[in-house]
Amino acid sequence: VNWTKTEKATITDIFSHLDYDDIGPKALSRCLIVYPWTQRYFSGFGNLYNAAAIIGNAKVAEHGIKVLHGLDLGLKKMDNIEAAYADLSSLHSEKLHVDPDNFKLLSDCITIVLAAKLGSAFTAETQATFQKFLGAVMSALGKQYH
């Protein structure tokens, strides 16, 4: 993936203001609510019975923060994103058997929650750059699938 200076600056700027503890839980819970089949991977997380239970589930919140921090790997290695996600890709494919289609669902939830938080600061250019970044991360996460 090639990045322009402006794209790099935009990504750095987004992450420098990113409220992981807010966006992470909201994005993961939205994914589990809107795409309920994604719940199947989180059977160890306890009560996911309905939207209120998911939003109030401490394990979901904690994992949402962890996942969002997973994006830091790509941020730190924007010019070699595939290498940055080699281990996480193996984990999600070989150990967790997560269907890679779900990466797109979660990444869209992250985008929606971020857009809601940033409001008018989330311009069309910002969105395009952020989605390009998430697309690169998803593609790297999918690399170890065969």
Q: Does 106 bind ligand HEM (CB under 6 A)?
A: yes
Q: Which of residues 41, 82, 127, 132 is near ligand HEM by CB under 6 A?
A: 41
Residues 48, 66 contacting (CB under 8 angstroms) = no
Residue 107 touches ligand HEM, criterion: CB under 6 A:
yes
Q: Which is nearer to ligand HEM, 4 or 96 (CB)?
A: 96
Helix (H, G, I), strand (E, B) or coil at 77: coil
Can you read off the two tokens belonging to residue 110? 């992250």
How is residue 143 written in tokens?
Answer: 């690399």
Residue of 11, 71, 75, 114 that binds ligand HEM (CB under 6 A): 71
State which of residues 67, 75, 113, 140 lies at the interface with ligand HEM (CB under 6 A). Answer: 67
Q: Which of 11, 18, 88, 140 binds ligand HEM (CB under 6 A)?
A: 88
| Cα 68 to Cα 74: distance, rounded to the nearest angstrom | 11
Instruction: Kindly tell me which of 113 and 141 has the beta carbon lying closer to ligand HEM.
Output: 141
Return d(Cα 71, Cα 103) in angstroms, integer: 12
Single out the residue of 38, 57, 89, 129 in contact with ligand HEM (rule: CB under 6 A): 38
Alpha-carbon distance of 78 to 84, in angstroms, equals 9
CA distance 87 to 53: 31
44 binds ligand HEM (CB under 6 A): yes
Place of tokens 């994005």: 27
Site residues, ligand HEM (CB under 6 A): 38, 41-42, 44, 63, 66-67, 70-71, 88, 91-92, 96, 98, 102-103, 106-107, 141
